[in-house]
Structure 1
Amino acid sequence: MGTTQLEAVQEPKYWHLKTVLGEALDSEFAVGEVLPNERDLAARFGVARATLRQALEQLELEGRLQRRRGVGTTVAPPRRGIHVGPAERHWPGQGPDDWRAIGCVEAAAPAAVARLLGDEAGDDLVHTIHRVRTSERQPVATDILYVPRSSVPGLSDALSPAEHPHAVLAELHRLDLEGEDRTVELGSARAEDAKQLERLPGAPVLIVTTRYVSAGRVTAVSAATYRADTCRLTFGDSGAVEIDTDQTRQAS
């Protein structure tokens, strides 16, 4: 294995090194393979170990590397394809659904969610369902589903904590779902989401916000937080539209 020197570039040296390392991961290493130690890698690329660590940390944040205690730094498996745009419309908890409700409370909707709900939220409390999504037995997303009281007027007031989320979802399923729209943006994991996703607070995440429309109004809003390091979100019938930073990088 020869020595590769970095040429003078305008971007930060560690960022350029990250790109070079990423190309090496694609061509020279297999999934699960342990990387050489920092001293050898720094010598190969002709950089200080501090620069190397910055590049490795960035690759770890992007899900290209995993650091395992007692093992070292290994090449991470490809991102899981997570379908978030079903061909047929379904209410949350209906149809092919791999979300699990973990709790439900009545609370004021955050200002951003209240704006999405419009007049249906008002100053009233909304049913707030917390859910978690798993893939291959690993947590990949958390979700908060906001359902105004006016959307589920037939809900009983005498519900136990265990019954509450399922009762709200059951009432939603009685409505005719007319449409839904989604937005996706990059964000940082909040402390409560990070704990559920087994990540550190502030880790990069993909936030998928969905509005559900029934009877010409927004009936519920979902704010789902997906791990950006292990998930590839797919949309549509074939999943042809993907959020995949690996493919984006290779195409650029």
Structure 2
Amino acid sequence: MGTTQLETVPEPKYWHLKTVLSEALDSEFAVGEILPNERELAARFGVARATLRQALEQLELEGRLQRRRGVGTAVAPPRVGVDVGSESGPRSWPGAPGDAWHTEDHEQAPAPAAVARLLDTGAGTPVHAVRRSRTTGDQQVAAEILYVPADVVPALPAGQDPADSMAQRAARARAVLRELHRLDLQGQDRTVELGSARAEDARRLDRLPGAPVLVVTTRYIADGRTAAVSVATYRADTCRLSFSDADALPLAG
């Protein structure tokens, strides 16, 4: 077989540097150790800072490095295994016994356009938004917003008081979950995408805006319609996701 055009393309400088840096991480640095600043690293390896940044970004994406607010870039520990599929069983509503999430907050607000299409709600129509978080050990690894149309849980009065305390909003969030549990869950489907942390995601996960994240979107079906949509954002630098209700498929290694 002849040489393809792709095979003649030289390896990008940042990719070669990534390999060199990875070897240095293994031999010279301990987990949690802060790397020298970009100027020092660029001088050591004889590259432009733009090339260095590309290599560091790739290593962060692969889970070898973590950027910390106000601290710098540190060597990352091994990724934490997070089982997405069997938190409370493949046919359970969020908040069922065994659920690994902590319910935090509630508000009524329009869902993002993509979620509104899944829910078949009109643009700008307020829905229940339940915020939850997931922690492994002492580290928060994921943040979730569960969107539920108001007519799916009609027992809950519409509207909210801006003066409600955090405890009141958390209680209202738990009430939304209890009402969902009254419905017959017919099925669910799930998608996973690599994304970048938005400002809110970054704040909740203690990441920098734009940091790599894994976005897991779950659609819950009841009474022949989409009754709820969960958008869960996982830290890509620390998480290795598996789906035990499928075949324990690892998504990030």
Alignment of 1:187-202 (within 5 A): 187-202=195-210
2:151 aligns with 150
- Superposed displacement of residue 226, structure 1: 0.9
- Superposed displacement of residue 96, structure 1: 1.5
* 1:220 to 2:228 alignment: yes
After superposition, the Cα gap between the structure-2 partners of 1:41 and 1:103, relative to the gap in structure 1 and judged at 3 Å, is closer
1:78 aligns with 78
After superposition, the Cα gap between the structure-2 partners of 1:34 and 1:196, relative to the gap in structure 1 and judged at 3 Å, is closer
SS in 2 for 1:240: coil
- Superposed displacement of residue 181, structure 1: 0.3
Alignment counterpart, residue 101 of structure 1, candidates 100, 103, 126:
103
Structure 2, unaligned runs of 5 or more:
1-7, 161-167
Cα distance in 1, alignment partners of residues 42 and 97 from structure 2: 51
Deviations 1:183-232 (A, max 9, x none): 01111111011001000111111111100011221110011111111111
After superposition, the Cα gap between the structure-2 partners of 1:9 and 1:35, relative to the gap in structure 1 and judged at 3 Å, is farther
1:135 aligns with 136
Alignment of 1:30-109 (within 5 A): 31-32=30-31, 34=33, 47-48=46-47, 50=49, 51-52=51-52, 54-66=54-66, 74-86=74-86, 87-109=89-111
2:20 aligns with 20
* 1:204 to 2:212 alignment: yes
Give the conservation status (yes or no) of the 8 Å contact 2:202–2:211: yes
Structure 1, unaligned runs of 5 or more:
1-7, 248-252
After superposition, the Cα gap between the structure-2 partners of 1:146 and 1:33, relative to the gap in structure 1 and judged at 3 Å, is closer
What is the percentage of aligned positions where both structures have the same residue?
62
- Superposed displacement of residue 99, structure 1: 1.5
Alignment of 1:110-121 (within 5 A): 110-118=112-120, 121=121
Give the conservation status (yes or no) of the 8 Å contact 2:100–2:134: yes
SS in 2 for 1:199: coil
- Superposed displacement of residue 11, structure 1: 3.1
1:4 aligns with none
Cα distance in 2, alignment partners of residues 230 and 174 from structure 1: 35
Count of aligned positions: 234
SS in 2 for 1:165: helix
Cα distance in 1, alignment partners of residues 57 and 214 from structure 2: 19
Cα distance in 2, alignment partners of residues 127 and 33 from structure 1: 39
Letter in 1 for 2:139: Q
Give the conservation status (yes or no) of the 8 Å contact 1:29–1:75: no
Letter in 1 for 2:100: D
Alignment of 1:178-193 (within 5 A): 178-193=186-201
Higher RCO (C-alpha under 8 Å, 6+ residues apart): 2
- Superposed displacement of residue 70, structure 1: 11
Give the conservation status (yes or no) of the 8 Å contact 1:34–1:72: no
After superposition, the Cα gap between the structure-2 partners of 1:138 and 1:128, relative to the gap in structure 1 and judged at 3 Å, is same
